[in-house]
Amino acid sequence: MIVILEPGIDKSGPDYTAVMDYLANLSGIQVRVHEETGAQQVLTELYLVGDTKGLKDVEISALPGVERVVRVSQEYRVLGRHKDDNRSSHFEYNGVTFSQNNLNIFAGLCAVDNPSHVEQMMKTLQDHGQVTTRMGAYKPRTSPYAFQGHGAECLPYVFELAGKYGIKVIAMEVTSDQHVHEIQQALEQTGHPTGVMLQIGTRNTQNFELLKAVGRQQEMPVLLKRGFGITLEESLNAAEYLASEGNRKVVFGLRGMKTNMGDPHRNFVDFAHVPVVKRLTRMPVCVDPSHSVGSREASPDGIMDVFHVTAQGIIAGANMVLVDFHPAPAKALVDGPQALLLSELPYFLEDCRIAREAYEARVKNMQRIRPA
């Protein structure tokens, strides 16, 4: 059960004390307080954990300071959608809105290789009005002998260049708690010229200790990639780990499933699950066409598969696109063969715009038979 308190409630005032006293007297029920700091006010939600079946909703709703009570099913308590649940499906970070109702494109390098490539990428993004990107500093690789990413060493120049070119959020994978600290430290040292969205990669979707550590920090949002060999339900539960530790600024990323059934794509594209995740949870949904497709192959219509599946994700309502670009793919240290060229960025953005417009037209069309 979630007890939603009135917005901006004073935690030292009598209403808050009365609610907490009431809840403290319920036997076998633990209360977890979650605060969401928005642009205008702080929202406080109380999560009641334990056997809540016998609790009296009407009595709790009537307590001073309580706005309403939401009964949640066992699944995805914090991030899920529940009956009569109108909690928000968006959050803000560093001036960027992440929502189930909008679209952000994170085009960038799969892996940071050198300052010149980072700068060329960032400048091209700025030239085309983009304020978000992807830049891997820590790369989990199949082979221990493959390039592992420049790690903490590259963070200062990546952040400074992001600031120089007006980039507000960089999606960056972390594979350990230590990486989170290194990112926090580098942001601090460089004076916060940009923001970071911590990415949990598909190989770590069920690394529960990593999820708990990343979930405990509430400053940076998280992009959780779906595990490539587990069920959707298992991956959604992984996202819930982040939220249950306190961080609910989570975007869920589809990036394809590992099976030969998807050949010749690198992974079996799972973007049909975009609307499913939006229905089951309040998370914005990201698609990663680069790691799904894994090549620059095009169909006879001249459109590359990476463009095709991006459009398929967007026309199904995706809210974020994570996509590999590189100034010189032949020189890329990771995933060069799937990278798009900087000169292709405006055409990629235009294709995204066309698909988004089609999605919005589809929503309007459907509202005529099923008013929202």
Binding site for Mn ion (CB under 5 A): 110, 335
Least distance to ligand PEP from the beta carbon of 270, Å? Answer: 11
Query: Is 202 or 235 the residue whose CB approaches ligand PEP more closely?
Result: 202
Residue 301, Cα to own-chain centre: how many angstroms?
A: 32
β 132-134/250-254 pair status: unpaired
Least distance to ligand PEP from the beta carbon of 210, Å? Answer: 13
What gap in Å lies between CA 108 and CA 131, rounded to an integer? 11
Among 2, 110, 121, 345, binds ligand PEP (CB under 6 A): 110
Residue 225 interacting partner from Mn ion, ligand PEP, none (CB closer than 5 to 8 Å by kind): ligand PEP
What gap in Å lies between CA 20 and CA 153, rounded to an integer? 47
Instruction: Write out the H or E segment, with its range, that includes residue 62.
Output: none
Q: Which of residues 118-147 bind ligand PEP (CB under 6 A)?
A: 136
327 binds ligand PEP (CB under 6 A): no
What gap in Å lies between CA 238 and CA 254, rounded to an integer? 14
Least distance to Mn ion from the beta carbon of 199, Å? Answer: 11
Least distance to Mn ion from the beta carbon of 10, Å? Answer: 48
Query: Under 8 Å CB-to-CB from 288, ≥6 apart: which residues?
Result: 225, 253, 254, 255, 256, 321, 322, 323
Residue 193 exposure: Cα atoms within 13 Å on the Cβ side: 16
201 binds ligand PEP (CB under 6 A): yes
Count of residues interacting with ligand PEP (CB under 6 A): 9
235 binds ligand PEP (CB under 6 A): no
Among 150, 179, 225, 265, binds ligand PEP (CB under 6 A): 225
Least distance to ligand PEP from the beta carbon of 223, Å? Answer: 9
Among 150, 255, 273, 296, binds ligand PEP (CB under 6 A): 255
141-149: Cβ within 8 A, 24+ apart: 141/334, 146/334, 147/111, 147/333, 147/334, 149/111, 149/112, 149/334
Q: Are 325 and 341 in contact (CB under 8 A)?
A: yes
Least distance to ligand PEP from the beta carbon of 134, Å? Answer: 7
Among 45, 173, 305, 351, binds ligand PEP (CB under 6 A): 173
Q: Which amino acid is at 302?
A: G
Q: Are 262 and 256 in contact (CB under 8 A)?
A: yes
317 binds ligand PEP (CB under 6 A): no
Query: Is 60 or 274 the residue whose CB approaches ligand PEP more closely?
Result: 274
Query: Is 270 or 335 the residue whose CB approaches Mn ion more closely?
Result: 335
227 binds ligand PEP (CB under 6 A): no
Query: Under 8 Å CB-to-CB from 81, ≥6 apart: which residues?
Result: 279, 280, 281, 282
- Counted residue by residue, the chain has a size of 372
Q: Which of residues 270-299 bind ligand PEP (CB under 6 A)?
A: 288, 291
150 binds ligand PEP (CB under 6 A): no
Least distance to ligand PEP from the beta carbon of 140, Å? Answer: 6
Please report, as ranges, the residues that interact with ligand PEP according to CB under 6 A: 110, 136, 173, 201-202, 225, 255, 288, 291
